[in-house]
Amino acid sequence: MLKDRVRTKTYQNVMHKNNFLFKNKVVLDVGAGTGILSLFCAKAGVNMFMRWSAPKWRIWQKKLLKQTVFLMVSDGLVLPDTASLYLTAIEDSEYKENKIEFWNNVYGFDMSCIKKQSMTEPLVDTVDQNQIVTNCQLLKTMDISKMASGEASFTAPFKLIAERDDYIHALVAYFDVSFTKCHKLMGFSTGPRSRATHWKQTVLYLEEVLTICEGDALVGSMSVTYNKKNPRDVDITLSYILNGRRCQVSGTQHYKMR
């Protein structure tokens, strides 16, 4: 993540330009890694800070920063404090043909059972903005500072309008984050029309190839829930209907984000 300049420079600018939020405060750096955000905090004048990270990093972090005690206060801040999830649709025939349809005929053998498995696992990759076929739909905005356990699970409707005649092979999800407590609003996007981050985008391939005309609407809903067996996994259910000029189709697909 150190090489992710979008993410790291945004945090640096938030602390550098808004030190009134940090000066003489107590800060918890969650998922500290190398401790770069803690170093930014130190320059911003925090009074105390604590880093929460994997055990293997603790010895290294102690060489960088002095371990302190974190005290949670009722009027504290969570940064970033707002996150928004978006959905769009893309044309991606090349990848789907090479990586998914490939399993239909592997040197003369039918391995389509592997294809079915590959369809259930979202791809995390960088999408070329020229592949985007529709508008981008806001699915959900979350106030991170006020969220309770379980509120990250949701079902949201969507309506994607085609901006040109094309084919849809996948839907793409991404998120934006905002730091609304700053003197001036700051944040960044992980979307395909923005500078790439280490989060990239999440691509959900459809079993059907949708033929869509400019102005046609792909409508449906997306449900996101934590997996009951492993809370680190996310279960996604996607339902859609296209009643277009040249294609009428509906479907429901299930995905597991590991």
Q: Which domain holds residue 99?
A: 82-257
* Lookup: tokens for 146: 């006020």
Neighbouring CB atoms inside 10 A of 151's CB total: 12
Q: Which of 231, 227, 232, 236 is nearest to 254 (CA)?
A: 236
Write the DSSP string, 170-222: EEEEEEEEEETTSSS-EEEE-STTS---TT-EEEEEEEEEEEE-TT-EEEEEE
pLDDT (average), residues 110-128: 90
* One domain for residues 154 and 47: no
* One domain for residues 33 and 96: no
pLDDT (average), residues 9-23: 93
Q: Name the percent of the chain lying above pLDDT 70.
A: 90
* One domain for residues 95 and 170: yes
Whether the per-residue pLDDT at 149 is higher than 90: the answer is no
Give the bridge partners for 236, in sequence order.
224, 255
What is the identity of the amino acid at 134? T
* One domain for residues 24 and 148: no
Q: Could you tell me the pLDDT band of residue 79, with boundaries at 50, 70 and 90? A: very high
Element (H, E) at 93: helix 93-95
CATH number for position 25: 3.40.50.150
Whether the per-residue pLDDT at 175 is higher than 80: the answer is yes
Whether the per-residue pLDDT at 208 is higher than 60: the answer is yes
Domain count within the chain: 2
Q: Dihedral, CA atoms, 12, 87, 123, 119, nearest 10 degrees? A: 160
* One domain for residues 37 and 119: no
Q: Could you tell me the pLDDT band of residue 73, with boundaries at 50, 70 and 90? A: low
Whether the per-residue pLDDT at 249 is higher than 80: the answer is yes
Domain assignment present for 73 = no
Neighbouring CB atoms inside 10 A of 208's CB total: 14
Domain assignment present for 71 = no
pLDDT of residue 139: 97
Whether the per-residue pLDDT at 69 is higher than 70: the answer is no
Q: Is the pTM of this model over 0.75?
A: yes
* One domain for residues 122 and 236: yes
Neighbouring CB atoms inside 10 A of 195's CB total: 11
pLDDT of residue 231: 81
Q: Name the percent of the chain lying above pLDDT 90.
A: 62
Domain assignment present for 77 = no
Higher pLDDT, 206 or 98: 206
CATH number for position 208: 2.70.160.11
d(C-alpha 165, C-alpha 78), whole Å: 43
Are the C-beta atoms of 221 and 239 separated by less than 8 Å?
yes
Domain assignment present for 21 = yes
Domain assignment present for 70 = no
* Lookup: tokens for 76: 């504290």
d(C-alpha 161, C-alpha 10), whole Å: 32
* One domain for residues 49 and 171: no
d(C-alpha 173, C-alpha 123), whole Å: 10
pLDDT (average), residues 240-253: 97
Max avg pLDDT among 68-72, 97-101, 134-138:
134-138
